[in-house]
Amino acid sequence: QQPVQSPQAVILREGEDAVINCSSSKALYSVHWYRQKHGEAPVFLMILLKGGEQKGHDKISASFNEKKQQSSLYLTASQLSYSGTYFCGTGPPGGYQKVTFGTGTKLQVIP
C-alpha cells in the first residue's frame, strides 16, 4: 500500500524551513527519500533503515519513527535549488529491492 505524504504541495521563500511527512499503514522497515525536478528523473537523497535513525546532508535531513510508522524530511534555510517533488518510499527489511513510493510533495522555493 502506498505511503501517504503531507503536505501535497508547499511554497517557501528562500531561507524558510519546511517539513514533509510520510506515513504508512503498515510496519516500516526502511524509508527512502528521493527528489525529482521538473522534467527530470528522481534522484536519491537518503535512506533510513532503523527506527530512531536520523540522517542528513547539506541542510536536508530526515528522521524515522518506527513506532509511529512515519518519517519526516526536514529542509532548513531552503534554497531555490530545493524546488521539486519529494517522494518517500517504503521498502522491505534491509532497504533495497521493492520500494513503494508515495504520491509526492511538490515544493516550490521562490526568491
Partner 1 sequence: DAGVIQSPRHEVTEMGQEVTLRCKPISGHNSLFWYRQTMMRGLELLIYFNNNVPIDDSGMPEDRFSAKMPNASFSTLKIQPSEPRDSAVYFCASVERGNNEQFFGPGTRLTVL
Which spans of this chain sit near partner 1 (rule: CB under 8 A)?
Answer: 2, 30, 32, 34, 40-44, 47, 87, 91, 95-104
Cβ closest to partner 1, residue 12 vs residue 47: 47
Q: How far is the CB of 87 from partner 1 (least distance, A)?
A: 6
How many Å apart are CA 37 and CA 57, to the nearest integer?
18
Cβ closest to partner 1, residue 22 vs residue 78: 22
Grid cell 508547499 in the structure block, residue: 10
Answer for the pair 46, 8: CB distance below 8 angstroms, yes or no. Answer: no
Q: How far is the CB of 13 from partner 1 (least distance, A)?
A: 27
Determine the residue type at 27: A
Q: How far is the CB of 14 from partner 1 (least distance, A)?
A: 27
Please state whether 103 falls in left (phi above 0), alpha (psi between -120 and 50) or beta: alpha
Determine the residue type at 76: T
Cβ closest to partner 1, residue 33 vs residue 78: 33
